[in-house]
Amino acid sequence: MNKNDIFKIGIGTWKVDPDNFEKDLEALKYSFELGQNYLPLSMLYNNGKVVERMKEFIKLVGRENLFICANLERYVEKIEDVENQLNNYLKILDLDYIDCFQIHTFAVCKVSMLDIYKEINRLVELGKVKYIGVSNVNLEQLKEIRSVSKVDFFEGVYNLDCKYYENTGLTEYCKKNDIIFTAYQPLRRNRIAQKNYVFLKQLAEKYNKKQNQIMINWIVKEKEIMPLIKSTNKDRIKENIEALNFDMEKVDYETLNEFQNEKINTIEINWNEESGVTIDQLANQNEENHN
């Protein structure tokens, strides 16, 4: 599948339940029937059991109909570990290639990120990988990677409360360099809506939509970002897709654009996992309610 054929909303797989997979499989099938075809996978999710169960979904809908993104996890002690991890995905899923391969985070890797991406490029040449992704790095690191490798995808945290990557210029950099930005935690698992920001409630009332639909619409249409959303509720999956079926006035998009969560903005990011808040935990730092 070409990267331009990917649906505007990706399928989230974090918290898929491998021990009670029948319900999740039905939800995945329904998501696919509504057009969703981007499937991110990680061996960290339930110790690899989620990946094992996803083989059923892939066979059900057809491998050629999915864009599969696999995460290289941080346990890279020698360069051979990169291909070994990829081969493990291919073996478990019974695939010949992965559409996109990206390192989840560089923290605690014993091989430099540039050497890792040179190796991923080699895997592209071998036909085991089609596209190259990057996740959870800052703008300077992304530029470094692009000095040795083409980058097609960037996965990072992005939502109404957490605009770190926009504020530091990374989202704009992606747009200028034909890099698709995929966002995890775009709705904070409904927690942003639960804050009941006055302006967000007003927009939902104005357009007769749910708050989450307002945010999905804004992220996709205004920000040109692909949110990754996990749900096993068919009604909610349908609501998420229907969030793309309307347009808001420019002034309303600007209201969402201008909002800044100063508490989140003042948190210093630790990129080495020595102490403090790592980028994947940044959005979790603002859990109190705002009325």
Q: What is residue 190's DSSP assignment? A: G
Give me the residue spans of the domains in the chain. Answer: 3-285
pLDDT in tens, 73-128: 988 999 999 999 999 999 999 999 999 999 988 877 899 999 999 999 999 999 99
Which residues touch 273 (CB under 8 Å, ≥6 apart)? 105, 107, 108
Distance (Å, whole) CA 148 – CA 151: 10
pLDDT in tens, 208-258: 999 999 999 999 999 999 999 999 899 999 999 999 999 999 999 999 999
**Overall average pLDDT of the 193-216 stretch:** 97
CB 190 within 8 A of CB 285: no
pLDDT in tens, 69-82: 999 998 899 999 99
> Which residue from 92, 37, 30, 97 is spatially nearest to 65, judged by alpha carbons?
37
Question: What is the model's pLDDT at position 273?
Answer: 63
In this structure, of 45-49, 77-81, 259-263, 264-268, the range with the lowest mean pLDDT score is 45-49
Question: What is the model's pLDDT at position 291?
Answer: 35
Q: Which residue has the higher pLDDT, 201 or 269?
A: 201
> Which residue from 176, 177, 111 is spatially nearest to 149, judged by alpha carbons?
177
pLDDT in tens, 180-192: 999 999 999 899 9
Helix (H, G, I), strand (E, B) or coil at 9: coil
Q: What is residue 112's DSSP assignment? A: -
Q: Which residue has the higher pLDDT, 22 or 9?
A: 9
Here the tokens at position 97 are: 């290639």
Question: Domain 3-285 in CATH: superfamily?
Answer: NADP-dependent oxidoreductase domain (3.20.20.100)
pLDDT at residue 61 above 90? Answer: yes
Question: What is the model's pLDDT at position 274?
Answer: 64
CB 232 within 8 A of CB 44: no
> Which residue from 114, 153, 113, 148 is spatially nearest to 132, judged by alpha carbons?
153
Distance (Å, whole) CA 92 – CA 118: 25
> Which residue from 133, 125, 122 is spatially nearest to 99, judged by alpha carbons?
133
Question: What is the model's pLDDT at position 45?
Answer: 80
> Which residue from 38, 11, 41 is spatially nearest to 24, judged by alpha carbons?
11
pLDDT at residue 193 above 50? Answer: yes
